[in-house]
Each structure stands twice: as structure tokens, then as C-alpha cells.
A and B are shown apart, each in its own frame.
Chain A
């Protein structure tokens, strides 16, 4: 329902566009109206992959060109109508997406962008070598419409408009489902997405297949409009750049971006060319380039986001004339009371079963000559709250990453309920019931708190509704219900910590791995977060928490594992550990021991 409502402006605009195009008599303007739609479609295709996952593709011409050549070659050599070859080109685009994506997704960032650039360049030469320098779409004088050829060019505008609507709906559908959530999560933080149970490679492959299909269909239709296909006109650098330009100009990661970009840039570029081309050759390129530079400087994420942010700020000021700061989040009632009463030194005991949910045996990991973790063994029993502590450089984070799948052990086993999970991908561990948070917080900044948490719920949820329910529950458990609608970019450190906790909880883990959850918090904030963690443990979730300060931890955990130089120094109950001379000597110092005994 919300999806449909959000599409109203799109349908209204489409109708307006149709109205204008029906009025236009001039075939050149009809061609421009068609090209605006074609490049908007191509921008949408690019957006599904690069806009949503953040993996910039400089080589979308691959799919576009394959689509164009499919159509023109089938028409030229086998007399196949574009009506038939357009769906085929769509499939070929999708297949090309998978074939290109599978090896290329091993790369990230600039490396991904640059290797994507290589594909269309290679294809350009392949098609030249094959002798397809110029392939024309044969002119049909009879039954032309059966070959997608029309005397009235308004027919092309209509076909392109239908294609754009279909692609916009597809994009909208992706945006509104777990597909889009997964892609946005990947864009904002791939590691966090993995940890939240998202199989990032599979979602990325789906995205590139969909994107390739859209580009293939667009290329196929472009061949019909262009009538003569040359390798440079469909595989060229400028074609790939066109997708980037219209999207980055209009707005990355939204269905509106490519539409705004194409609707502005294509006519302006063409007008400049038509008006100046013969008089001041080349000046159009200079003006066009400068306009794009100015827009990128003023609105780096595109016109759409700039305008939307501006409108939001105005709206916000109107709604809050006093400019008061947003209300502080109230912790959930269930966990609020004990905050101040609970100042005892050591954690109260909770029921812990004898069953080991996690057993670590002889775990080792080296980086070159450095033995970061060396022969570490311990057990985590169901329901317990275990603290792993040690000074900086003791190997805590390495151990942690071995437990949650971000690192593969050199030796040893990580047995989860008796099954060795050593070296399994993070999302597999997440599915197996192990949630985690990060030492350096990894929120999906543009998303609301609710959506951030919802990403974590998909690993358990069968439907959107269930995901929302699980997310709402998790948010309530950490006490963030009041600010569930706020974007993550505006949260305090404590709220971000709690939100990360909620994201991990939304996947309903049996066991939670918390990495320095208390880092960067003030004293009062530490108390609040500790209460929340304690509450979660009381509900029966097993928790392993890493900290380098023992200070707060003694009040929280049932047992400690103390690491030093990559090996287990001591393990045991907090009271015993804090009195242990080895711990005092290696880590705490005399002052603490005096304090603890008092």
C-alpha cells in the first residue's frame, strides 16, 4: 500500500510525459523525448547495482552493448523482430551479469570499479574483430510495426515510457523488500551486513543479474532507436559514463535520480550541441562539463538528495520552532529500575547449565611471525555471561574474529553445539544462532533505527511483517522504541551501541558476541548499557563480551577468560580472577588489588 502511494508521483509524471509527447509533432523532439527515457532506464539499471550496493561499475556498457548487438544482429542476419529479441536481450544481460559478477565480486572498491571498466573495452574489440563495425537494422517497408518500426515516432516514446515504468516499479520493489535492505546494508557496511546474517555474495549476484537484465533490455531498445549499431556507440566509454552521469547528477540510490538526471542532461546536452555545434564547435562539451562539475560540487550525492535534505531541514525547523533537542531515549521499563540500586561489586549469579554451547579447542592464529592467538581453549556454557579481557594487544579481537567467522583459524576448533564452525562465513554463523556487535560501530547511517535493526531480523523472519515485528521487539528490549524512526546518523554513541545490540538481537541468537560494547561511553551510560546486557542475559541468551577494562566487567560477568600475549592466562569467577596474582601482575597492577580486597 505504502509502495503504491509512493508511486503516485511517478504515474502522474508518466501521464504528463505521455501527454506532452502526444502533442509534439516534431520528430526530432520525439527522438529526444525517447532518448531521455532510454538513458533514464540505463541509469536505473546502473542504480540497482552501483547505487544500492555502492560497488561502482564503470562498465555497464557491457550489458547495454550485448543487448543492442543481440537485437541488431538477430534482425540483420536472421530477420528476427526486436519484439522477440528484446526479451532475449534481457536474459542475455542477466546472464552476462552473473558471468561478470562471479569473478569480479571478489574485488572491492576501486579494484571492482576498474575491473568492471575492462569488460566493455574488451567486448568492443571482440565485436570489431568479429567484423561487426557497422550493423544496421534493416528498413521494413511493409508490416513495419511488427519489426518495431513506426512512422509515427510517438510510438517509440510510448514503448520507452512503458519500459521506464516497469524498471521504476522493479527498483521500487527492490527498495521496499529485503532485497533492497540487503543491498543498502552491503553498501553501508559489508562486514556488518555479513554479521547480520546477509549472504552478501548472493544478494550482489542477484543485483547484478537484475541490473544486467535492465541494461540489456535498454540496449536492445536503443538499437531500435539508433538503427545503426557500432561497437563504439554501445560498448564505448561514453556509454558507461552516461549511466554514471545521469544517476550521479540526479541522485544515487533512488529511483528518482536517473529520471531527474536524464530529463535534464540529455535535452540540455542536445540543445547545446544543436545551437552551438556549427558556430562554436566543441563549446557545448565545455559548458556541459562545467555544469556537471558545479552540480557535483554543490550536490555531491545528486540533485534529489540535496533537495530532499533541504526540504527536510525546513520541515524540521517548522515542526520544532524552539529548535529543542530530540527527547532522550528512555530505557525500557523492565531494565530501568535496577540501574542505581545495582552498585554491588560482583555480578549476581544466574542459572547456568552445564551444557557447553561453544567450545574452543587449541585455537591458534598467526599473522606472519606474530602469534596473535596461541593454543587457546575454553568453554562457554549455555546461559552464562563470559567476559574475555586482557590488555591491548592481548589477542582479544583476533580471538573474537575467529569465533564469528571473520578470520579462519590456523589450527584448532570452534565447536558450536558440537559442530566445528571454524572458518565458516559470518552469515552462516549468524544463521546458526551467533549474533555479534562491532568494536567500531557499523551502523547503516542513512537508514532509520528500525530499518537498521530490521536488516538483522531477516535471518529469522519469513516475511516483511515478521521482520518488522522482530525488529520492534529487539528495539524495545534495548529501550530505543522512542527513537525507532530516527536516522542512525543522528544517534549518540550509546544509542548506536544499543542499536547494534538490537540488530544482533533481532536475529534471535542463542549466543551474542559483544566486542568492546562499552568503549567510548561515559560512566552513567556504561551503567545503562550494562543493565540492558544483563537483562538480555537474564532472558537466557548466552553472552560473550570482550573488554579491555575490567572495571565495569566485574559487575557483569559470571566468568572471566583473561588473555595475555595471545594465550589464556587465567579463567574463573570474577572474585577469584581479580585476586589472582598473575592477573594483577600482568594486567591490573597493585593498586587495583588493594582496591578489590577492600
Chain B
């Protein structure tokens, strides 16, 4: 193995150095029928796992589009996926984006890059290169910079917070017959978590007549959740908003809550708490009943896709990463059909003016983008851990199961 690695290592250096000096290697020759789409996601480092799942979604999407006859307005041209690793830091993501636009001049569009900070850095590059990029990242900032070539398929963090609260309150009222009055918020200090709770803390809680009785921010990783759980126990809120990014933090918190026999309806934001590898560390019994508001999830009507993902890739359920990236490919298919030409300007223009009707692979709204590049009417789904699987329980038309409200 070491021999192999060494040879390919030296080879790649030998290949890359002249290119580095600008001497050799022009862009790989293209067959005209192939239309290249980039996927810039983390494939190494601590975010490799979600990145890999995004690649599964993209590959399934490409296969389905090609199987359906490719891009008809381009004479049935087939799609080709170009995968690049954006690493685990903002700098690596930025460098990878530069490499993507420099070395693949034939790319017509791309999808990426999981973490909002990566997407922010990556789009600074793709915008300058006029390469349209679809993203599932939440940060409002991504589409607030006046960029023309960035398209956000998820509801932004701010919009999600706005939507999530009334939804959850309604869910609580129907399920428990009582309107919650007090809430606790415990969040880590990552950008996404802070953004998700900001609007709630500043005005949404007050708007809905809720009182915040616990407000704690911690820096991951947690060493001990006892002090946090003690606060919960002392104040006994009706709702507990819990926003971890690191699974070990979620585990510590849920274990401590079980230890103190504290049964408070727990709601998270985002997918961290519902990734399959959560089960590697956390007992499914602890997770039972935990809910999360996410921008996308496997829903009713996608049973065949979910099954295919399980069969071919061994993924136990369809997360946002898989379904949104799968959906991105179909959005690009629509844009390419509309543009009728395989270049980035054409695809970007088509995306801006696209009207693809009701969204199939995203909750709520349509396949249409507003002037900022946000998907019009983007909604969210509420998922809940039930019997070791996080399933969509809201909205009703997409729900795969009925919500269960924990009773104290």
C-alpha cells in the first residue's frame, strides 16, 4: 500500500509542478454532450460524513436526470458530476473554490458547501467567477451580500426561526391540550446556532407570549452538562430549545436529563441531532421524542428514493444533505432546459427567472428564486425521533408519522 501511495504521490507532484508554473495541463478536453456540474463539499476532516451524504444525493440526482434522457433542450446531453473536497476550514474551502473555477472552466453550475462559513467563503469566489451555486446552508448572510449567482434552497436561519416557533406552539397545543408559557434556550456558540436563536430571544418569544426562564450559551465541547440540567430542573420550562452542533454535547445533555428523570419537550434546530451517526454514541431511547426543525428531510412521496438510498448507500434514512443535494440537480436540470445552452451565464440567468412550479424535493414553496436568490416560499419540516428513526411529523401533507408530545 505504501508503495502505491508513494508512487501516486510522486506522480501527482510531478504532474502538478509544471502546471503550477503555468506550463502544462490545459483544461481537460470535453465531449460536447457532457454538461459538467460541480459539487464542492467537505470530504475530509470532521465534516466529511455530511459531505459524503451530499455526494450520494448528487450522484442519485445525476443518475435519475441522465436516465430520464438528459437535457432535452441540449439534444439529450448527459450531466457529469465534478466532485471537489472543500476540507474542514474556511481557508481550504476558499482555496478549493478557486481551484474549481480555475481548473474546470466548463462547469455550468455547482452545489455546496454544507457549513455556512464554507458557503460564504466559496461563494465569494464563485460570484467573482459568475458561476451559479446552489446551497442548502442557512445563514441569512449568504444571500444578503447583493450577489447575483448564489441561490439558497433552504429557508434562511432567520426565516426558520420565524416559522418554527408558531408551528411548534400549534403542535404543542394540539398534542398536549395546553399552550406552553415558559421556554428554556440552551445553545452552543456556533454561528448557525446563534443565528437560529437570535430572533427568538430578541422578539419572537415576546410576540408569542412566552417567557424565557433559562438562557445559556456554551462553547463546544461540553465537559459536563450537570450545571445546565440543574438550571432546567430548577425552572421546569414547558419547552426546551436545545441547539448543539457536536453530537457528544447532545449525548451529554440527554443522558443527564434522563439521569435527573427530566421529561421536558426538547426541540432542536438543524440536522445535527438527527444524523445517522448520532446512534453510534447516543442510545435511541434517550433520543425518543426529541424534535428538530430542519430545512428539509425525507418526506411523504419520497419513499422510493429513501429505499434506494438505503439499498445502494446503506444510509438508514434520508437527511437534508441527501435530499436537498438531490433536489439541486433537478433544479439545475430545469434551469438547463430553460437556458438551452450549457454555460454559466445562461444557467445563472435561467435560475434567476426560473418558474418550476411547486417544489417536489423541498418543503413548501416553489422552484423559483427571489431577487436575493432565496427560494420563494421555502418552508421547513419538523422531524421527531420515533423508535430510533427521525421521521417527518410536520407539515401534515409531508408527514410520514404523527407527532408524539412528551408528557411530564
Contact B116 A134 (CB under 8 A): yes
Contact A20 B9 (CB under 8 A): no
Contact A232 B89 (CB under 8 A): yes
Selected contact of B120 from candidates A134, A268, A272, CB within 8 Å:
A134
Contact A270 B83 (CB under 8 A): no
Interface residue A526 (Cβ < 8 Å from any Cβ of B): no
Contacts of B127 in A (CB 8 A): 139
Contact B117 A133 (CB under 8 A): yes
Selected contact of A20 from candidates B21, B91, B129, CB within 8 Å:
B21
Chain B: interface residue total (CB-CB under 8 A): 49
Give A271 to B9 CA distance when docked, in angstroms: 9
Contact B92 A226 (CB under 8 A): no
Contact A128 B90 (CB under 8 A): no
Contact A28 B124 (CB under 8 A): no
Chain A: interface residue total (CB-CB under 8 A): 47
Give A32 to B92 CA distance when docked, in angstroms: 11
Give A317 to B51 CA distance when docked, in angstroms: 58
Give A139 to B219 CA distance when docked, in angstroms: 31
Contacts of B20 in A (CB 8 A): 24, 29, 32, 267, 271
Contact A278 B124 (CB under 8 A): no
Interface residue B226 (Cβ < 8 Å from any Cβ of A): no
Interface residue B143 (Cβ < 8 Å from any Cβ of A): no
List which A545-588 residues lie within 8 A (CB) of chain B: none
Contacts of B145 in A (CB 8 A): 136, 138-139
Interface stretch of the complex, out of B41-49, B259-267, B283-291, B328-336: B41-49
Interface residue B30 (Cβ < 8 Å from any Cβ of A): no
Contact A29 B90 (CB under 8 A): no
Interface centre among A226, A227, A274 (most CB of B within 10 A): A227
Selected contact of A278 from candidates B85, B91, B102, B116, CB within 8 Å:
B85
Interface stretch of the complex, out of B11-19, B56-64, B304-312: B11-19
Contacts of A29 in B (CB 8 A): 19-20, 22, 102
Contacts of B124 in A (CB 8 A): 136-137, 139, 227-228
Give A128 to B220 CA distance when docked, in angstroms: 12
Contact B21 A24 (CB under 8 A): yes
Contact A274 B99 (CB under 8 A): yes
Contact A275 B128 (CB under 8 A): no
Contact A134 B117 (CB under 8 A): yes
Give A151 to B125 CA distance when docked, in angstroms: 11
Interface residue A25 (Cβ < 8 Å from any Cβ of B): yes
Contact A277 B43 (CB under 8 A): yes
Instruction: Report the minimal beta-carbon distance from B380 to chain A, rounded to whole angstroms.
Output: 22
Selected contact of A26 from candidates B102, B117, B120, CB within 8 Å:
B102
Interface residue A31 (Cβ < 8 Å from any Cβ of B): yes
Contacts of A133 in B (CB 8 A): 117, 190-191, 194
Interface residue B139 (Cβ < 8 Å from any Cβ of A): yes
Interface residue B98 (Cβ < 8 Å from any Cβ of A): yes
Give A139 to B127 CA distance when docked, in angstroms: 9
Interface residue A233 (Cβ < 8 Å from any Cβ of B): yes
Contact B89 A238 (CB under 8 A): yes
Interface residue B167 (Cβ < 8 Å from any Cβ of A): no
Interface residue A201 (Cβ < 8 Å from any Cβ of B): no
Contact B102 A273 (CB under 8 A): no
Give A287 to B7 CA distance when docked, in angstroms: 13
Selected contact of B99 from candidates A20, A28, A233, A284, CB within 8 Å:
A28
Chain B contact residues: over half helix, strand or loop, or mixed?
Answer: helix
Contact A282 B98 (CB under 8 A): no
Interface residue B84 (Cβ < 8 Å from any Cβ of A): yes
Instruction: Report the minimal beta-carbon distance from B287 to chain A, rounded to whole angstroms.
Output: 28
Contact A23 B22 (CB under 8 A): yes
Interface residue A283 (Cβ < 8 Å from any Cβ of B): yes
Q: A275's closest neighbor in chain B, by CB?
A: B12
Instruction: Report the minimal beta-carbon distance from B112 to chain A, rounded to whole angstroms.
Output: 13
Contact B102 A27 (CB under 8 A): yes
Interface residue A397 (Cβ < 8 Å from any Cβ of B): no
Selected contact of A230 from candidates B45, B103, B117, CB within 8 Å:
B117
Contact A27 B101 (CB under 8 A): yes
Interface residue B147 (Cβ < 8 Å from any Cβ of A): yes
Contacts of B16 in A (CB 8 A): 271, 274-275
Interface residue A129 (Cβ < 8 Å from any Cβ of B): yes
Give A31 to B19 CA distance when docked, in angstroms: 14
Q: A25's closest neighbor in chain B, by CB?
A: B22
Interface residue B406 (Cβ < 8 Å from any Cβ of A): no
Contacts of B125 in A (CB 8 A): 227
Contact B5 A283 (CB under 8 A): yes
The number of inter-chain residue pairs (CB within 8 angstroms) is: 128
Interface residue A351 (Cβ < 8 Å from any Cβ of B): no
Selected contact of B95 from candidates A31, A128, A232, A275, CB within 8 Å:
A31
Interface centre among B19, B98, B129 (most CB of A within 10 A): B98
Contacts of A20 in B (CB 8 A): 21-22
Interface residue B221 (Cβ < 8 Å from any Cβ of A): no
Q: Chain B, 164-194, contact with A by CB distance < 8 Å: what is the 0/1 string? A: 0000000000000000000000000111001
Give A215 to B86 CA distance when docked, in angstroms: 26
Give A270 to B20 CA distance when docked, in angstroms: 11
Q: Chain A, 167-193, contact with B by CB distance < 8 Å: what is the 0/1 string? A: 000000000000000000000000000
Contacts of A321 in B (CB 8 A): none
Instruction: Report the minimal beta-carbon distance from B214 to chain A, rounded to whole angstroms.
Output: 19
Give A35 to B145 CA distance when docked, in angstroms: 25
Contacts of B128 in A (CB 8 A): 139, 151
Instruction: Report the minimal beta-carbon distance from B43 to chain A, rounded to whole angstroms.
Output: 5
Interface residue B121 (Cβ < 8 Å from any Cβ of A): yes
Selected contact of B94 from candidates A138, A228, A275, CB within 8 Å:
A228
Interface residue B222 (Cβ < 8 Å from any Cβ of A): no
Interface residue B76 (Cβ < 8 Å from any Cβ of A): no
Beyond A134-B139, A134-B141, A238-B89, whether A271 also contacts B12 by CB under 8 A is yes
Beyond A134-B141, A271-B12, whether A28 also contacts B194 by CB under 8 A is no
Contact B90 A282 (CB under 8 A): no
Contacts of B9 in A (CB 8 A): 272, 287
Interface residue B146 (Cβ < 8 Å from any Cβ of A): yes
List which B58-91 residues lie within 8 A (CB) of chain A: 83-85, 87, 89-91
Give A32 to B141 CA distance when docked, in angstroms: 27
Beyond A151-B128, A283-B5, whether A226 also contacts B22 by CB under 8 A is no
Contact A282 B45 (CB under 8 A): yes
Give A78 to B379 CA distance when docked, in angstroms: 34
Interface residue A322 (Cβ < 8 Å from any Cβ of B): no
Give A272 to B87 CA distance when docked, in angstroms: 12
Beyond A133-B194, A151-B128, A228-B94, whether A273 also contacts B85 by CB under 8 A is yes
Instruction: Report the minimal beta-carbon distance from B187 to chain A, rounded to whole angstroms.
Output: 12
Contacts of A418 in B (CB 8 A): none
Contacts of B141 in A (CB 8 A): 134, 136
Beyond A228-B117, A230-B117, A233-B89, whether A28 also contacts B103 by CB under 8 A is yes
Instruction: Report the minimal beta-carbon distance from B293 to chain A, rounded to whole angstroms.
Output: 21
Q: Chain B, 124-148, contact with A by CB distance < 8 Å: what is the 0/1 string? A: 1101110000000001010001110
Interface residue A125 (Cβ < 8 Å from any Cβ of B): yes
Interface residue A326 (Cβ < 8 Å from any Cβ of B): no
Q: Chain B, 1-34, contact with A by CB distance < 8 Å: what is the 0/1 string? A: 0000100110011001001111000000000000
Q: B118's closest neighbor in chain A, by CB?
A: A228
Contacts of A134 in B (CB 8 A): 116-117, 120, 139, 141, 191
Q: Can you offer 29 A-B residue contacts whose CB atoms are under 8 A?
A: A23-B21, A28-B98, A28-B103, A29-B19, A29-B22, A128-B189, A128-B219, A133-B190, A134-B141, A136-B145, A226-B91, A227-B125, A228-B121, A230-B90, A230-B117, A230-B191, A232-B90, A233-B91, A236-B89, A238-B89, A271-B20, A272-B9, A273-B96, A275-B8, A278-B43, A281-B43, A281-B45, A282-B44, A282-B48
Not counting A267-B20, A268-B13, a sample of 7 additional A-B residue pairs whose C-beta atoms are within 8 angstroms of each other reads A26-B19, A27-B129, A133-B117, A227-B124, A233-B91, A271-B12, A274-B16
Interface of A toward B, CB cutoff 8 Å: 20, 23-29, 31-32, 35, 125, 128-129, 131, 133-134, 136-139, 151, 226-228, 230, 232-233, 236, 238, 267-268, 270-278, 281-285, 287
What 9 A-B pairs are tightest by C-beta distance, nearest first? A277-B85, A28-B102, A133-B191, A281-B44, A24-B22, A227-B124, A275-B12, A228-B121, A28-B99
